[in-house]
Amino acid sequence: MNKASLNQYFHSLFPIEKEVVEKITESFSYFELEKNKVLIDVNTVSTQTFFLERGYMRSFILNEDGEQVTTNIYTAPCFVNDFLSFFKQQPSKESYQTITECSFWETSLENVQFNFHNIPDFREFSRLLFVVNYHKLNDRLIAMSSQKAETRYMNLLKLQPHIFQNVSLKIIASYLGITDSSLSRIRREIGKI
């Protein structure tokens, strides 16, 4: 329950002084959630931002047929928030829930705003977070529009094998943009080779 991993995360993203990081993370407070608990509920305005220290999470929306579509899977350590809801103070269109037991560090928009306007390195860090997340999303979009499901599955398996130990195939299938029976068939075919 110390801030070592939170502080470390700042250093991992770009060079920043120890004292500056400590000033930034001063306002963060710790909490835990069991598995399958809601972190950010759909239609609520998000006032906190979260650092996922330990565990697995996902975001999802409900489509026209009322089915859950997993939009993202979050693997600690990383920041989790709904950008649109948090920064524009609008109701979230997605829900965010824990998949495993998770631990978090959270802080408020007020603190983020203070740091953003008063600590230059935090500004750079924030922007870098956006750039990195935008880039990840872009890569997924390219994969979704130019690769077949089997390729997307193979890449996920290669790049994030630990996800398969912690997240159900149903959620993974939805994240890959296919049904769980299709994923099951793909896994069988791969196994044959």
Residue ranges that bind DNA, judged by CB under 7 A: 148-150, 168-170, 177-188
| 70 vs 85 by CB, closer to DNA | 70
Q: Which of 3, 140, 185, 187 binds a copy of itself (CB under 8 A)?
A: 140
**Residue 88 contact among a copy of itself, DNA, none, beta carbon within 5 to 8 Å by kind:** a copy of itself
Interaction between residue 130 and a copy of itself (CB under 8 A): yes
* Minimum distance from residue 179 beta carbon to DNA (Å): 4
Asked if residues 85 and 39 have their Cβ atoms less than 8 Å apart, the reply is no
- Residue pair 113/59 in contact by the 8 Å Cβ criterion: no
Q: In this complex, which beta carbon is closest to DNA, that of residue 126 or of residue 179?
A: 179
Distance CA 22, CA 30 (A): 15
Q: Which of 138, 172, 125, 123 shows the shortest CA–CA distance to 152?
A: 172
Supply angle C-alpha 79, 9, 83, rounded to 5: 20
Toward a copy of itself, which CB reaches closer, 38 or 128?
A: 128
CA atoms within 13 A on the CB side of 72: 19
Establish how many alpha carbons lie within 13 A of residue 191's alpha carbon, considering only the half-sphere containing its beta carbon.
6
Alpha-carbon span 146 to 169, nearest angstrom = 22
Q: How far is the CB of 50 from DNA (least distance, A)?
A: 23
What, of a copy of itself, DNA, none, does residue 131 touch, CB below 5 to 8 Å by kind? a copy of itself
Q: Cα separation of 38 and 4, whole Å? A: 25
* CB-nearer residue toward a copy of itself: 107 or 174: 174
Q: Does 120 contact a copy of itself by CB under 8 A?
A: yes
**Residue ranges in contact with a copy of itself by CB under 8 A:** 61, 63, 69, 71, 83-84, 87-88, 116-117, 120, 123, 126-128, 130-131, 133-135, 137-138, 140-142, 144-146, 174, 176-177
